[in-house]
């Protein structure tokens, strides 16, 4: 009984913590905790190379500095994506060939100016959050990627529709924005070395506001076609510009495809 009471008390404390207003947290006109402004990932900043954590040989070669070798994956504890054997083999093939491509399947979608997908949009450059009534809108500077997250309880789009940035539905739980993502296509990667999901992936994101300038982000990926169990990625977002500085700051148009010459070069190499 004492033990049960303790569990309940703990659960209540956790709920209270979730719902407790962050000091100085202002609200939007429709009552959302206001997180508008410019943000970027601040943990493992070179994670876009390999989210399982590994030194980037090209970066080391160019800069002489080692890269961050910490995995973004907090669950499972070994920091590895729980791939099914065939999927691990596919990913290792990309890892082995990503600096020496022999087929289109080795080419990073970012190189071809395709959208980042989720969660890569959060560690490829900075992003801006807008909160118009009933929505959270995220604008990524790289390749002008966008996400529209409606906060009403409308259902997801039909199963036959796949989207580059998925179909997002969000709601606030106290100081946490919880987003459910389905209808994701299978054409984006997590990083340069080919970590991937299928079009059956179900993503559950949680943006927890820790202070006016810090958001903890966790996303769980469930995909029975590719993984043996779900896994979770953790990032920390910080503001890139604050206060008055933010009033004179803006994202610029980054027209990736329009300036892309890499793809033509790859066409020449791969389709002689």
Partner 1 sequence: MLRALTAPASGQILRGTINRKAFEDVQRRFRYVLVVAVVSSVASAPISAQLRTDSPPAYKAPRTADGKPDLQGVWQALNTAAWDIQDHAAGLGVPAGQSVVEGNEIPYQPWAAARKKDNFEKRLTEDPIAKCYLPGVPRITYMPHPFQIFQTPGITAILYEYDHAVRTIYTDRPHLPGHIDFWLGMSRGHWEGETLVVDVIDFNDKTWFDAAGNFHSDALHVVERYTRSGPDHIAYEVTIDDSKVFTRSWKMNMTLYRRQEQNIQLLDYECNALAEEAAGRLK
**Gap between the Cα atoms of 109 and 116, Å rounded:** 8
Nearest CA among 249, 212, 215, 263 for reference residue 119: 215
Q: Is 171 in the site for partner 1 (CB under 8 A)?
A: no
Q: Please state, as a whole number, how many other Cβ atoms lie within 10 Å of the Cβ of residue 210.
A: 12
Q: Is 86 in the site for partner 1 (CB under 8 A)?
A: no
Please list every residue from 27 through 46 that binds partner 1, using CB under 8 A. 28-30, 36
Q: Whose Cβ is closer to partner 1: residue 82's or residue 166's?
A: 166
What string of DSSP letters covers 119-151? TGGGSSS-EEEE--TTEEEEEESGGG-EEEEE-
CB 139 → partner 1: shortest distance, Å?
6
Task: Give the one residue of 33, 119, 125, 145 binding partner 1; rule: CB under 8 A.
Answer: 145
Q: Is 261 in the site for partner 1 (CB under 8 A)?
A: no
Name the H helices within 75-217: 85-97
Q: Is 146 in the site for partner 1 (CB under 8 A)?
A: yes
Task: Give the one residue of 65, 159, 248, 264 binding partner 1; rule: CB under 8 A.
Answer: 248
CA distances for 14 relative to 5, 7, 9, 82, angstroms = 14, 11, 9, 29
Per-residue string for binding with partner 1, 88-127, x by CB under 8 A?
Answer: ----------------xx------xxxx------------
CB 255 → partner 1: shortest distance, Å?
5
Is the torsion defined by CA of 172, 210, 237, 218 positive or negative? negative
With a CB cutoff of 8 Å and minimum separation 6, the contacts of 97 are: 106
Q: Whose Cβ is closer to partner 1: residue 142's or residue 221's?
A: 142
Binding site for partner 1 (CB under 8 A): 28-30, 36, 104-105, 112-115, 128, 130-133, 135, 137, 139, 144-146, 148, 150, 154, 157, 161, 163-165, 187, 247-248, 250-253, 255, 257-258, 260, 263, 267, 270-271
């Amino acid at each position: 009984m004492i033990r049960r009471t303790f569990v309940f008390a703990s659960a209540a404390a956790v709920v209270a913590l979730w719902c407790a207003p962050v000091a100085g947290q202002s609200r939007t006109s429709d009552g959302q905790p206001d997180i508008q402004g410019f943000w970027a990932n601040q943990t493992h900043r070179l994670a876009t190379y390999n989210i399982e954590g590994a030194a980037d040989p090209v970066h080391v070669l160019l800069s002489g500095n080692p890269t961050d070798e910490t995995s973004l994956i907090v669950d499972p504890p070994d920091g590895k994506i729980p791939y099914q054997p065939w999927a691990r083999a596919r990913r290792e093939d990309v890892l082995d060939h990503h600096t020496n491509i022999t087929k289109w399947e080795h080419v990073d979608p970012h190189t071809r100016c395709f959208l980042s997908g989720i969660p890569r949009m959060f560690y490829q450059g900075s992003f801006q959050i807008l909160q118009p009534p009933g929505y959270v809108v995220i604008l990524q500077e790289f390749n002008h990627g966008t996400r529209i997250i409606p906060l009403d309880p409308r259902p997801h789009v039909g199963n036959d529709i796949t989207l580059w940035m998925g179909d997002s539905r969000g709601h606030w739980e106290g100081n946490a924005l919880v987003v459910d993502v389905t209808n994701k296509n299978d054409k984006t990667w997590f990083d340069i070395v080919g970590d991937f999901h299928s079009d059956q992936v179900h993503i559950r994101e949680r943006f927890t506001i820790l202070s006016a300038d810090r958001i903890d982000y966790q996303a769980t990926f469930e995909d029975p076609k590719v993984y043996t169990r779900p896994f979770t990625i953790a990032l920390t977002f910080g503001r890139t510009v604050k206060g008055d500085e933010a009033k004179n700051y803006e994202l610029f148009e980054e027209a990736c495809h329009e300036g892309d010459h890499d793809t033509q070069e790859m066409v020449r190499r791969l389709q002689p």
